[in-house]
Amino acid sequence: MTWGIVFFSLVLMSSCEGPVGPPGPPGPDGLDGQVIVGEVFEIVGNFTEEGNYGIAGEYGFEIFETDKLLVYHLDGLLDGDVDLWRPLPRTVFLEGGNIFNYSFDFTFFDYSIFLEGNFALGLLGSEWTEDQVFRIFIIPGDFINARMDFSDQSKLLEMMEVKESEIQRIRLN
């Protein structure tokens, strides 16, 4: 009798099927076969006391929670003709034990780059505060993996299929 109940239960479970549910809502339209490639642009700005030693801007578009924002500071020329970029945050050690940082933060619609130091920032020379150039990368989360080398801008530009000549430079203040 026990085998009969087991057999009957198996037949009953395998033959039971409910009605098909209604179709789900349609998803957002996408671009088939396209990869979201992110953005790269440069900004030029001055760090002043009036601006609380910061510069800020808006993207003009929304970025996503999974996106990564990378900022690089143009630190001059190497061998006279090659741009030397340093990733932020960047710590600068001055004579006399003074230290300051170029740092940044960002939200989904804007960013700010600012100076922090262990002394009155008004004492900084104009080479650190005037006409400072920063390159900003917005990298889609789909591109990010643990093995990426974010210090190599040429590889980032190649991955994002962006040429140096295509990078827009914006003056903020």
Q: 134, 115, 136: which is closest to 69 by C-alpha?
A: 136
> How high is the pLDDT of residue 59?
87
d(CA 52, CA 172): 15
Residue 133 is assigned to a structural domain of this protein = yes
Number of domains within the chain: 1
Residue 2 is assigned to a structural domain of this protein = no
Residue 132 is assigned to a structural domain of this protein = yes
pLDDT, one tens digit per residue, over 80-115 is: 788 899 999 999 999 889 999 999 999 888 999 999
Residue 145 is assigned to a structural domain of this protein = yes
- Domain limits at 122? 41-171
Supply angle C-alpha 101, 103, 104, rounded to 5: 170
Residue 4 is assigned to a structural domain of this protein = no
State the virtual CA torsion across 144, 146, 149, 150 in degrees, nearest 10.
50
pLDDT, one tens digit per residue, over 10-54 is: 444 455 556 665 665 665 554 444 444 689 999 999 999 999 999
Answer for the pair 63, 108: CB distance below 8 angstroms, yes or no: yes
Give 33's contacts (C-beta < 8 A, 6+ positions apart): none
Residue 14 is assigned to a structural domain of this protein = no
> How high is the pLDDT of residue 44?
96
Answer for the pair 98, 118: CB distance below 8 angstroms, yes or no: yes
* 169 vs 160, higher pLDDT: 169
- Residue 143 is part of a domain; what is its CATH number? 2.60.40
Residue 19 is assigned to a structural domain of this protein = no
User: 80 vs 23, 76, 84, 100, 164, CA distance in Å?
Assistant: 64, 9, 10, 26, 18
